[in-house]
Chains A and B, each alone.
Chain A
Amino acid sequence: MTSQTKKTNIIAAINEAIAQAMEADPKVLVLGEDVADREGGGVVGVTRGLSTRFGDDRVKSTPISEQAIIGAAIGAAMMGYRPVAEIMLMNFTTVAMDMIVNHAAKLRFMSGGQTGVPIVIRMLTGAGIQSGGQHSDYLEAWFAHTPGLKVVAPSNAEDAKGLMLSCIADPDPCIFIECVRALGTTFEAPVDVQPIPLGKAKLVKEGRDVTIISYSDMFLRAQAAAATLEQQGISVELVDLRTISPWDKETVLASVAKTGRAVIAHEAVRSFGVGAEIAATINEELFGALKAPVARLGAPFTPVPFSNALEQHFLVKPEQIIEAAKATMKVAAPTSVN
């Protein structure tokens, strides 16, 4: 049996997921700046049509008040609702960090399990479109460093829909990162997308020589790098992490155990990034099986610049991923010292 597919994009996929969840569960709500149709259905139209279809009580545009948005979502969630809150851009979560980190993430624990906060916080981000230093950051490491939050970052339309369905159904707060550069990209996706379990990576392509691990927009660059490497005779195993916290150690470790080499690439700055956590875990678990040091790629330790000329140097390029993978192939096995 072949499943039917269609051409779609991430915006439409997330919209479908939210609509599907709202249809199935009257407790699912949407709130955020400009999310209702009167305001255009979201800054890039992710929530377009939802207020018309489900009513203004369930799909509410808000003032530009990030603390009030997340606070309202938290309170409604504590009372049994499932709010999907939009924070327009990831950088604007900084205005609501108290609500997200001190409250959404901790209320289940601090109440001894009495109050849960099943909210989804959606946000766009990504460099490369000249939005400058306060509209482009990938801050996933902050959230992944916070016990109580889950962090999800799909790279394509199918995963965006399947992961959004799971986030809405999840009993805990989920940070859902929408990658700005890939928003307009057309993907082939199944017509009927099933929920994709959180914490489960996708082994996109099997290979023998080196494992490349990435997520969100950067995964598309990793995929391009892998195609080039294959043409050059290097067999790449490609892992799309999809969920950053909790991350799928099993899939990553099984792959690296097989290839003996790992390259991790993300858009966020490299220092103290998600790549460091993954690299450390690989080193702890697979020290004896590694054929080369784990390579990690990320942006240089600098704010996202405005000038396109600089911004292109900020983002990790497919060529850098190719180079890093090749470098792992050139490491000589250590000679034993007697």
Chain B
Amino acid sequence: MSSAVDFGPTNQAAPNPATQVEMYRRMTLIKQNDEASRKVIRSGRLLMPYYSPRGQEVIPCAVSVNLNDDDTICTIYRGIHDMLAKGVPLKELWAEIAGRITGTCKGKGGPMHITHPSSGAMLTTGVVGSSMPIANGLAWAQKLDGSRRITVAYFGDGATNIGAFHESLNLASLWKLPVVFVCQNNRFAEHTRYENCTSVDQISKRAAGYGMPGITVDGNDPFAMYAAAHEAIARARNGAGPTLIEAMTFRFFGHVFGDDDSYMRKEEKAEAISRDPVPAFRAKLIADGIATAEQLAAMEAKIADDIEEAIKFALSSEVPPPGELLRDVYADGGVA
């Protein structure tokens, strides 16, 4: 990261070798899936709004390896990485993106509204900031249940300037909810640079205003991100309340597929891409003797096959029948 931010000590929990490999697997899945998505859109095989998460892979992978299957997440339209990291199955995900009946939401939600409760993926919202108030509700239920389940709310830096962020942090802190707020600070709110729309130099400072711990961490450093997530999740699970994590990262592409990203500086983008966290972590795993190049290559090939298969499954699936238009408006079918 090209940042003067002091990320503080990183002497906390470290992922064990198996977890490191799993983090890499999920990062690779997200990276390859993004490449496949852009290819499919470019080829004209699918038409959809696409918000690339490329460059932000580490964050949800480091978070989700600290989560249990029955922990829940809420994310936003740039959230396909969060969904994949939590375990939303590729085939249903692709079928949803393709608007098919076999999709997670029968093709009625689309890429901005992926939902897959059996993976704990409860909500993808298309509205900036709206993952947080609902994440509080999930966490409130988990607390009332007396369970040790927790919820993670993902959102971007732009979302910290909308009222829902402030209302949500206040309530979560007041009610000591088992929720972790993970801000993926990719330096841009749509097209506007961070410093041109945000009143503080670090979003984590806003946590103090709500009486909760706030930490800024290098979100592209798998170990630092893992440690921050580990601590915040443990705090939530142990009933000590919420944490705000500001994970510094960089969006490799424009806001939405097809925008010319002229508002991004070429040099900073090139620099971020040169520090691509996925191949960097791959090299580290090999250098540290955690995995061999052959093992990782086999893993990557398997992921490529899985994605290819998911795309085939999606594109060969049926579209929803017209009756689906009126189904699920209400539990008992449509009423007018």
A binds B: yes
Q: A68-B171, A115-B122 are in contact. Are A75 and B127 (CB under 8 A)?
A: no
Nearest A residue to B105 by beta-carbon distance?
A112
Report if B228 contacts A (CB, 8 A).
no
- Chain A, 47-90, CB within 8 A of any chain B CB: 57-58, 60, 62-63, 65-68, 70-81, 83
Which residues of A in the span 70-126 have a Cβ within 8 Å of any Cβ on B? 70-81, 83, 98-99, 102-103, 107-116
Docked Cα-Cα span, A102 to B125, in Å, equals: 9
Q: Is the CB of B137 within 8 A of A147?
A: no
For residue A171, which residue of chain B has the nearest CB? B331
Does A172 have its Cβ within 8 Å of any Cβ on chain B? yes
**B138-A75 in contact (CB<8A):** yes
Which label, helix, strand, loop or mixed, suits the secondary structure of the A interface? mixed
**Top 7 A-B residue pairs of the complex, sorted by shortest distance between their CB atoms:** A75-B137, A71-B133, A79-B141, A112-B106, A112-B105, A171-B331, A111-B115
14 extra A-B contacts, CB within 8 A, seeds A57-B144, A63-B170, A63-B174: A65-B171, A67-B164, A71-B134, A74-B137, A75-B135, A75-B140, A75-B151, A78-B122, A78-B134, A79-B137, A109-B328, A110-B108, A114-B117, A147-B329
A81-B144, A111-B113 known; A102-B130 Cβ under 8 A: yes
Say yes or no: B171 contacts A72, CB within 8 Å. yes
Contacts of B122 in A (CB 8 A): 75, 78, 115
B139 in the interface, Cβ–Cβ < 8 Å?
Answer: yes
Cβ 8 A contact of A108, one of B145, B174, B331? B331
Q: Which partner residue on chain B sits nearest A249 by CB separation?
A: B336
Cα-based distance from A140 to B89 in the complex (angstroms): 40
Q: How far is the CB of A66 from chain B (nearest CB, A)?
A: 8
B241 to A: closest C-beta gap in Å:
15
Cα-based distance from A74 to B141 in the complex (angstroms): 10
- The answer to whether B164 and A71 touch across the interface, beta carbons within 8 angstroms, is yes
A246 contacts partner chain B, Cβ-Cβ < 8 Å: yes
What is the minimal beta-carbon distance from B195 to any residue of chain A, in angstroms?
26
Q: List 12 A-B contacts (CB under 8 A).
A: A65-B167, A65-B171, A68-B136, A71-B137, A72-B140, A73-B137, A81-B144, A102-B130, A103-B130, A110-B115, A111-B105, A113-B106
B163-181 interface bits toward A, Cβ cutoff 8 Å, 1 = contact, 0 = none: 1100110110011000000
A115 contacts B115, C-beta separation under 8 Å: yes
Is A199 part of the contact surface with B, judged by Cβ < 8 Å? yes
Contact with A along B242-258 (1 / 0, CB 8 A): 00000000000000000
CB <8 Å contact, A246 and B117: no
The answer to whether B113 touches A110 (Cβ under 8 A) is yes
A71 pairs with B105, CB closer than 8 A: no
Give the CA-CA distance A114 to B92 in the complex, in Å.
14
User: Shortest Cβ distance from A174 into chain B, in angstroms?
Assistant: 11
Tell me the smallest distance from the CB of B203 to a CB of chain A, in Å: 19
Q: Is B123 an interface residue (CB 8 A)?
A: yes
Question: Is residue B76 contacting chain A, with contact meaning CB distance below 8 A?
Answer: no
Interface residues of A, count at CB 8 A: 45
Q: Counting CB contacts under 8 A, is B104 at the interface?
A: yes
A73 to B140, CA, bound (A): 9
Query: Is B208 interfacial (CB-CB < 8 Å)?
Result: no
A135 to B329, CA, bound (A): 31
Interface string of B145-159 (1 = CB under 8 A from A): 100000100000000
Q: Does A273 sit at the interface, judged by CB under 8 A?
A: no
CA separation between A36 and B104, bound complex, in Å?
40
Could you tell me the distance between the alpha carbons of A46 and B116 in the complex, rounded to whole angstroms? 37
| Cβ–Cβ < 8 Å partners of A63 in chain B | 167, 170-171, 174
Chain B interface, >50% SS class:
mixed
Q: Give chain A residues whose Cβ lies under 8 Å from the Cβ of B175.
A: 60
Chain A residues contacting B72 (CB-CB under 8 Å) are: 79
User: Contact: A112 with B127, CB < 8 Å?
Assistant: no
Question: Is B87 at the interface (CB under 8 A from chain A)?
Answer: no
Cβ 8 A contact of B168, one of A71, A80, A148: A71
Name the CB-closest residue of A to B177. A72
Q: Once the chains bind, are B134 and A103 in contact (CB under 8 Å)? A: yes
The answer for the CA separation of A57 and B126 in the assembled complex, in Å, is 31
Which residue from B103, B139, B141, B145 sits with its C-beta under 8 Å from A112? B103
Give Cα A65 to B164, complex, Å: 9
Q: For the complex, what is the distance from the CA of A150 to the CA of B330, rounded to whole Å?
A: 9
Residues of B within 8 A of A29 (CB): 144
Q: Contacts A75-B135, A80-B141 known; A115 to B123 CB distance under 8 Å? A: yes
Return chain A residues, CB-CB under 8 Å to B164: 67-68, 71, 98
B131: nearest residue on chain A (CB-CB)? A71
Residues in A neighbouring B327, C-beta threshold 8 A: 113
Which residues of the partner chain B approach A71 to less than 8 Å between Cβ atoms? 130, 132-137, 164, 167-168
Whole-angstrom CA separation of A72 from B142 in the bound complex: 12
Distance, CA A113 to CA B126, complexed state (A): 18
Partner of B133, one of A57, A70, A114: A70
Query: Residue on A with the closest CB to B104?
Result: A112
Which of chain B's residues have a CB closer than 8 A to the CB of A246?
335-336
Instruction: Report the separation of the CA atoms of residues A41 and B139 in the bound assembly, to the nearest whole angstrom.
Output: 25
Q: Are B142 and A98 in contact (CB under 8 A)?
A: no
Closest to B169 in A: A68
Q: Is the CB of A79 within 8 A of B142?
A: yes
**B213 contacts chain A at the CB level, 8 A cutoff:** no
Name the residue on A nearest B117 (C-beta): A114
Q: Report Cα–Cα, A199/B126, bound state, in Å.
A: 31
Residues of the A chain whose Cβ atoms lie less than 8 Å from the Cβ of B104: 111-112, 114
- Which residues of A are found within 8 Å of B103, using beta-carbon distances? 112
- Assembly CA distance A112 to B320 (angstroms): 11
A2 to B142, CA, bound (A): 46
* Separation of A83 and B133 alpha carbons in the complex (Å): 14
- Contacting pair B144 A76 (CB below 8 A): yes
